[in-house]
Amino acid sequence: MTESVVIVKGDAGVHARPAMMLVKEAMKYARCSVALIRGGVEADCKSIMSVLGLAIVSGSKLTVRADGDGEREAVKNIVAMIENNFKDKN
């Protein structure tokens, strides 16, 4: 298991578009479970409804946790996405 803590910096927090970006990234790791944890509540990062259910606002402290094949890469990429305020890599 690999985990890392990150703070959401964007003014809008995590609404539908960034949540979908998180889900798409997590889905790349089919042989790995990926979770977001906020305030003791854990959400499956492969489920848009689960991610949106965390009601992530600006300043939220999140733990990104992954377990399985590719766990380190999954955590690294999801943390980077959050730290970069969900800006496209293009």
CB 22 within 8 A of CB 14: yes
DSSP state of 46: T
CA 53 to CA 77: how far, in whole Å?
22
Catalytic residue among 1, 5, 7, 15: 15
Provide the β-strand partners of residue 76. Answer: none
Active site residue 85: no
Provide the annotated active-site residues: 15
